[in-house]
Amino acid sequence: MTFQDPLVVLSPHFPQLTAANSRPTIPYDEGYNCIAWAVEDTDRWWWPDPQRQQFWPARVPRQVTLAAFVQAYGLLGYARCAYASIEAAKQKITIYTSGHGKPTHAARQLRDGWWASKLGEQIDIEHELSARAGPEYGTVAIVLSRAMRP
Amino acid sequence: MSTASPARQAPTIRSNLALRVSVNWLFAASAIGVSSQSVQLQKELTDLNSHFSFPESRRRQSRRSLFNALASKRRTDTQWLSSTSNIAMHPAYQTIIGMGSDALPTILDDLRANSGHWYWALKAISNEDPVVPADRGSIKSMRRAWLRWGAAKGFIRA
């Protein structure tokens, strides 16, 4: 399968995604989601679901709110940051929210300034930040950063 | 001239209707207020009529077809979502939960064959949770725990 194929499938959901501003990386894997992938956890699906089926840090409220997500990433050393632009010795992640302000997606900045995203239970892609905005995930609500780790 | 008795005929809508009318008549008779035996007889005849009109084997097949269509719709529509809550709130997913415990063997079969996010539905329907807290979010471990649970309960083969 070439990237053209997923792009055709993805375009109705992510209208700004093109072959020029994105590239596929890892094929389908339902073992983890974007919230986990933002912190490079490929073993668990992170979500604060009320049924308590998915992983969520024990000390963080199981609420689908931006504050709860910031708190969850805060346990791993991330704090609010003003810019999404690349900075030396900083690791950054972004959280996207829907029109209702509920978190929908997270992405992790790569060393070249692009962003790594896991698309639900589907594939991973790398992309420019604005390429992911759209009806499915909404827009970037916050940028978090921490000191780069080896 | 042949005198052979006519071959036994498959049930028709007319014969089915006749049976239903008889059942209703018996029900009316029992409603007048007679013995518990007549009520029991009426119930058995109603069940017989229901089974005769729509056999269990066909019901199972119908349930499975419906499940497959709903599961496919759910997968297509929510494959890009990270939100377990939004996946579970999808109308097709909710319809499957609404099928109740009858759906458990089919859900577990699908979990075994295709994996998928059935954990919310399994917990909602069964009101049980075989996943230990340390395995929350670990799809492989959760799948293994639920399949083991399904086999222990007799919903699927081990």
Which uninterrupted H or E stretch holds B12? none
Q: Which residues of A touch B140 (CB under 8 A)?
A: 31
Instruction: Assess contact for A117 and A40: CB atoms under 8 A.
Output: no
pTM above the 0.80 mark?
A: no
- Among the partner-chain residues A13, A36, A104, the one whose CB lies closest to the CB of B83 is A104
In B13-52, the residues whose Cβ lies within 8 Å of chain A are none
Nearest CA in chain B to A121: B79
Three-class DSSP category at A138: strand
Share of chain A above pLDDT 90, in %: 55
Are B82 and A33 a contacting pair at CB < 8 A? yes
Mean pLDDT of chain B, nearest integer:
83
Residue B153: pLDDT band by 50, 70, 90 thresholds? very high
pLDDT (mean) for B124-149 = 96
The per-residue pLDDT for A1 is 43
B46 to each of B36, B43, B61, B156, how far by Cα in Å? 15, 5, 22, 30
Instruction: Assess contact for B101 and B126: CB atoms under 8 A.
Output: yes
Are B139 and A50 a contacting pair at CB < 8 A? no
Is the CB of residue A122 less than 8 Å away from at least one CB of chain B?
Answer: yes
pLDDT under 70 in chain A at which residues? 1-6, 132-133
Is the CB of residue B83 less than 8 Å away from at least one CB of chain A?
Answer: yes
B129 to each of A119, B22, B108, how far by Cα in Å? 27, 46, 14
Whole-angstrom Cα distance, residue B19 to residue B21? 5
